Amino acid sequence: MVSKAKIKRYLKIIVIIIIIYYAVIIFTPLSRWLADSLVVGSLVGQADVIIVLSAGSIHQQYLHHQTLNRLIQGIILWRQGKAPNLIVSGGPSKGRGISDAYLMAEMAKKLGVKADKIFLEDKSLNTRENISYCARLMKRNGWRMALLVTSSLHMKRVLQLAEKEGIKCLPAADPYYERYLSHYQLFQLVKHEYLAMLAYKCFSERGLRILDFINRWLTRLKDKIFYY
């Protein structure tokens, strides 16, 4: 059996590691450095369609502020005549109910975008599905070039997925609001991006679908426990 002394020593080591981990994140520029290596700036040109990716909604009633920022960026580009069509991409946040795409489309109409120029991609539940379903819409409509609107940190991963799907996209990132976040908040976003890109390299398509299923199941379980 492991002695109490050894258990205490292991616990001390774990606590020290945790303290060092958070100290490095909070008190060093590591998060900013990792973020800067992810950021992709805008390269706006003429295209056939503007794709705006959702960043989620609140209670399936209100657009998350980052989703709204992206949508406004897409509408500005549409008003500037950079592309005649607009795809709003995002399924229901909880996997069921009202889709983010529907909320985005309704807002776009209120802000002057013609209804017949708005195309909904309302099935996707993650970034891979965003791009996969948008690629199908592009091919179905014969569109060759898209302006892609998402956050600067998210753009690198999205462009990699677009290349894999065989669609041509120009980055049209919304303003780099992440620079105003704390080191810890920024690290959470950066960590998610790097882990996602690592998963794309390490897992097959089937493996990624299994990971998606597990993640959605855990999310629903958490909701049932904490939001009853």
Nearest Cα residue to 51 out of 79, 66, 68, 70: 70
Contacts 24+ apart (CB under 8 A), 181-184: 182/26, 183/25, 183/26, 183/27, 183/28, 183/29, 183/30, 183/31, 183/32, 184/22, 184/25, 184/26, 184/31
CA atoms of 66 and 150, how far apart (whole Å): 9
Tens of pLDDT, residue by residue over 59-75, are 888 898 899 999 999 99
Instruction: Supply the pLDDT for residue 203.
Output: 84
Q: What pLDDT is recorded for position 226? A: 52
**Protein fold of 49-175:** Rossmann fold (3.40.50)
pLDDT at res. 228: 45
Domain boundaries, the chain: 49-175, 184-223
Q: What tokens does 138 get?
A: 């592009």
pLDDT tens digits for the chain (228 residues)? 567 777 888 889 999 999 999 898 889 889 989 988 888 878 889 999 999 999 989 888 889 889 999 999 999 999 999 999 999 999 997 667 799 999 999 999 999 999 999 999 999 999 999 999 999 999 999 999 999 999 989 999 999 999 999 999 999 988 766 777 888 889 998 999 999 999 988 888 888 888 877 877 776 666 556 554
H or E stretch at 138: helix 127-141
pLDDT at 1: 57
Report the pLDDT value the prediction gives residue 222, as an integer from 0 to 100: 60
pTM for the full model?
Answer: 0.87
